A and B are shown apart, each in its own frame.
Chain A
């Protein structure tokens, strides 16, 4: 049965869109049929990260309002034929989304795909609420810093009260994806460590994605990091996270600082 997954965070700039693309691609690379849906109407980014910006004709708003059919708006990925994108509109705003329209589109997507991954906009307003509305599973993307953790706490509270599942009295499955984790800074106490974040948020850990140049590069060349540098640490973290989402039991490894010979000799960072 199809699963609807929302990638959300409350705070902006923590890596929702990057994670949506990477998890979507990783699930597709493992053989599932996946659609990634950009709910960030007005500030669309997912098409850029997926490298599909030059193929956008119709978007989510057109489908929600009935101006286009779903099949016309879906963009199939050039690298993975079982991965599709439903882009957002850049020229409209979130008021153009209606609850009924979103429900209908999600329902149609569920018939076509194994995974429907919704990339939520930042904030706790209408756009974010509609993105999480019909989710079965939530991935809460958090950076190891206090403001991001508190915003995630807020979003988790909303997942437990404002989603369709919560209103039916069911529990939405929630996972924590810790991104932009810098092992060196965490070791020096400049960031919250993994245990702190897990203690505050108390939801299961889906994965830890280390801060990496590969992620930045991937966004800029328009490719999910699991496709552009599949052997890198970030991509491996996303692959493992995707397997855990699919139900596999894999232990989460906390990234450690890799020290060079000289710094190991002196036990301190040179720079």
Chain B
């Protein structure tokens, strides 16, 4: 689970825009691992390492870089650079362990695949202020409410049968198709695949109502469900 920042040249302008964003949501990056996707920067960009230090000075925790050009100095300090190919933050296919004991049985034709672990998480009590639920494997369903100052992060969609008063972050592992559903929208922040909206940006007509949120391109859309 990581947020991905994709800076564009010229870097000082991009940093200024980031500062403006951070002024609106000062705690957004608190304690969150961040990947810097440097793939969009031209090879001749000056002082990329200095730029990364600049991010750290803003309290952004860089756990790795990707798409860095080999000629840039000092970039390797920020974790192991990810290969430039592939889309950022996608889950990597890990070969399943071969089950122990006995030869593997031939699969019956009706069975597509045997689920090893459930791809969803059900929480049947309220999520209280200060609590954080992270579930990268899939959807999270909350029977109660997400309290103010609490957060739920899911690799898939988030379904809340109460109110969202805290943060709901869906599509963690780079899933733009993830959605957020709730019975009552009073959220401090909603995010899908790195695109987020704070309470200030949400349409006032939807506050307090049953709402779903989804992504259209790089924009978060919201609509009432009732």
Contacts and interface: CB of A to CB of B under 8 A. Distances in A.
Interface in B60-90: none
A90 to B, nearest CB: 30
A263 interface: no
Contacts of B144: 202
A146 B186 CA distance: 13
Contacts of B209: none
Interface residues of A, number: 14
Interface stretch (B30-38, B127-135, B190-198): B127-135
A147 to B, nearest CB: 10
Pick from B126, B144, B150 the residue with the most CB of A within 10 Å.
B126
Interface residues of B, number: 15
A221 to B, nearest CB: 36
Interface stretch (A18-26, A58-66, A148-156): A148-156
B149 A154 contact: yes
B129 A150 contact: yes
B149 A202 contact: no
In this complex, which of A146, A157, A160, A161 has the most chain B Cβ atoms within 10 angstroms of its Cβ?
A: A157
B128 A156 contact: yes
A57 interface: no
By DSSP majority rule, is chain B's interface helix, strand, loop, or mixed?
Answer: loop
A200 interface: yes
B145 A154 contact: no
Main secondary structure of the interface of A (DSSP, over half): helix
Contacts of B167: none
Interface string B122-150: 00011111110000000000001101111
B165 interface: yes
A82 to B, nearest CB: 36
Contacts of A151: 129
B208 to A, nearest CB: 12
A202 B148 contact: no
B196 to A, nearest CB: 21
A154 B165 CA distance: 13
A200 B149 CA distance: 12
Contacts of B131: 157, 161
Nearest to A147: B148
A225 to B, nearest CB: 30
Most buried by A among B125, B131, B147, B163: B147
24 contacts: A124-B130, A146-B148, A150-B129, A150-B147, A150-B149, A153-B128, A153-B129, A153-B147, A153-B149, A153-B150, A154-B129, A154-B130, A154-B149, A157-B128, A157-B129, A157-B131, A157-B147, A157-B150, A158-B130, A160-B125, A160-B128, A199-B163, A200-B148, A202-B126
Interface of A: 124, 146, 150-151, 153-154, 156-158, 160-161, 199-200, 202
> What are the nearest 9 A-B pairs in CB distance?
A157-B128, A153-B129, A154-B129, A154-B130, A153-B147, A150-B148, A153-B128, A157-B131, A150-B129
